[in-house]
């Protein structure tokens, strides 16, 4: 038995400093997706004029981004399983770059919509890529914190564009915003490909039960078995409902402030960025709290319910009160994405299925990103802003119910 055990190589975990460096590059690369996804909302009034469209139709510019993401969310998980992280990262980055360049050179709405679809391909791969990289580089006792830090990718990207886009687009030159997004994606893709050259390989610790197992691998995983787990789909549904509300708020709040309260576009884009700035810090904190308490569901479900109360109030509040509600939303939002991602990965039951589990979660995210702006903009045009805000509260209640039924820990 001892001789047999000696033939099985033990591979050391990567050094902590190396792992955190990888996480920093991974976060910077991931930000390229939301940075480009949310470049529409802070300069939407400029785009309405440039393409001669109404607010009702503008929801399509935001939602079509998620259309490809919805279709590719699960295939992206399979592709990652087959091709590995480096090729998947290359697919993610090049899709964002190609789509953004095509958008910058578009002269009509149809061309812009096609470019947004291509950009959405990149986000699909990015979302399943990052949790898998984290699972490879971080041991279980550090993985929750790492996932919490990575969960700030969306608020950082949104905040960046909320601040930068109105400055770059002064004078109506919206194309420069697109070129900026392409350049950022190109630089961070190069950095990611550098750190993804030699990922660590892990094996099971040697025990009396594992010495007779072939040394190089664990038992093969059944990818399709994950898709038969209702808990993973319920977590994805909860996240989809949450994203329906959050994407609508981040997408249309600048236009709401500009048209209803008469704020200049630069100020109108800056106020909702407060939410994203706070979320950058509240997401990691939400992950650390859940690690300490040993629960995911008892944090993300109340978080979604509180958002269900805050958002309807935004449609009937004065400007000062609206700012307070945006701040509160940012604080509470930190409880949701981090714990949703962690719950989804844990529901998979095997870290090698992390990418596929995130594919299911991304089905929910992209469905929410697709339907939210369409629902919200349609209600704004056919009814009123307060009714549109109120509808999102109902959606969040449904999401909280799905999250509770998931029985996540």
Question: What is the tens place of the pLDDT at every residue in 345-358?
Answer: 788 877 677 778 88
Asked, for residue 157, whether it belongs to a domain, the answer is yes
Asked, for residue 318, whether it belongs to a domain, the answer is yes
Residue 216 predicted with pLDDT over 60: no
Closest by CA to 59, choosing from 372, 373, 269, is 373
Instruction: State the pLDDT at residue 16.
Output: 62
Residue 211 predicted with pLDDT over 50: no
Instruction: State the pLDDT at residue 5.
Output: 38
Instruction: State the pLDDT at residue 104.
Output: 94
DSSP state of 353: G
SS3 266: helix
For the chain, the C-alpha Rg in angstroms (whole number) is 21
Asked, for residue 1, whether it belongs to a domain, the answer is no
Residue 76 banded pLDDT, cuts 50, 70, 90: confident
Rounded CA separation 41/45 (Å)? 8
Residue 182 banded pLDDT, cuts 50, 70, 90: very high
Asked, for residue 3, whether it belongs to a domain, the answer is no
Taking residues 125-153, report their average pLDDT. Answer: 81
Instruction: State the pLDDT at residue 138.
Output: 78
Residue 303 predicted with pLDDT over 90: yes
For residue 355, the domain's CATH number is: 1.20.1250.20
Looking at the structure of the chain, the number of domains it has is: 1
Taking residues 169-173, report their average pLDDT. Answer: 84
Instruction: State the pLDDT at residue 390.
Output: 96
**Which structural domain, as residue segments, surrounds residue 238?**
11-405
Tell whether pTM > 0.85. Answer: no
Question: Which of 39-48, 126-135, 194-203, 318-327 has the highest mean predicted lDDT (pLDDT)?
Answer: 318-327
Instruction: State the pLDDT at residue 205.
Output: 37
Q: Are 310 and 328 in contact (CB under 8 A)?
A: yes
Q: Cβ atoms within 10 A of the Cβ of 201, count?
A: 9
368 vs 266, more confident: 368
Instruction: State the pLDDT at residue 212.
Output: 40
Q: What is the mean pLDDT of the chain?
A: 84
Asked, for residue 342, whether it belongs to a domain, the answer is yes
Q: Are 308 and 297 in contact (CB under 8 A)?
A: no
Instruction: State the pLDDT at residue 395.
Output: 97
Rounded CA separation 73/362 (Å)? 6
Asked, for residue 2, whether it belongs to a domain, the answer is no
Instruction: State the pLDDT at residue 10.
Output: 38
């Amino acid at each position: 038995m001892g001789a047999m055990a000696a033939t099985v190589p033990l591979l050391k975990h990567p050094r902590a400093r190396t792992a955190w460096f990888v996480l920093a590059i991974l976060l910077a690369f991931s930000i390229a997706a939301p940075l480009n996804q949310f470049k529409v909302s802070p300069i939407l009034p400029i785009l309405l004029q440039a393409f001669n469209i109404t607010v009702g139709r503008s929801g399509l510019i935001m939602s079509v981004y998620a259309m490809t993401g919805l279709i590719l969310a699960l295939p992206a998980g399979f592709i990652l399983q087959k091709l590995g992280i480096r090729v998947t990262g290359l697919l993610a980055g090049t899709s964002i770059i190609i789509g953004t360049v095509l958008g910058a050179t578009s002269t009509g709405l149809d061309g812009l919509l096609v470019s947004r679809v291509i950009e959405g391909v990149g986000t699909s791969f990015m979302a399943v890529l990052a949790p898998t990289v984290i699972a490879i580089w971080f041991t279980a006792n550090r993985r929750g914190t790492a996932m919490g830090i990575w969960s700030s990718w969306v608020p950082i990207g949104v905040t960046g564009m909320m601040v930068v886009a109105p400055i770059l687009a002064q004078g109506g030159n919206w194309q420069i915003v697109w070129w900026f997004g392409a350049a950022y994606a190109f630089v961070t893709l190069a950095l990611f490909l550098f750190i993804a050259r030699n990922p660590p390989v892990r094996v099971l610790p040697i025990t009396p039960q594992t010495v007779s197992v072939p040394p190089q691998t664990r038992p093969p995983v059944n990818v399709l078995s994950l898709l038969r787990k209702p808990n993973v789909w319920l977590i994805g549904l909860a996240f989809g409902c949450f994203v329906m509300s959050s994407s609508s708020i981040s997408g249309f709040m600048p236009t709401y402030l500009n048209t209803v309260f008469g704020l200049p576009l630069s100020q109108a884009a800056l106020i909702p960025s407060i939410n994203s700035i706070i979320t950058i810090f509240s997401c990691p904190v939400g992950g650390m709290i859940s690690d300490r308490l040993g629960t995911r569901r008892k944090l993300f479900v109340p978080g979604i319910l509180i958002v269900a109360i805050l958002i309807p109030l935004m449609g009937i509040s004065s400007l000062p009160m609206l700012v307070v509600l945006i701040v509160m939303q940012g604080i509470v939002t930190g409880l949701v994405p981090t714990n949703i991602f962690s719950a989804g990965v844990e529901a998979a039951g095997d870290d090698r299925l992390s990418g596929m589990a995130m594919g299911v979660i991304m089905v929910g995210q992209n469905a929410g990103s697709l339907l939210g702006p369409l629902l919200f903009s349609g209600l704004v045009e056919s009814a009123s802003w307060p009714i549109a805000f109120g509808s999102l509260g109902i959606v969040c209640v449904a999401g909280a119910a799905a999250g509770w039924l998931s029985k996540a820990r």
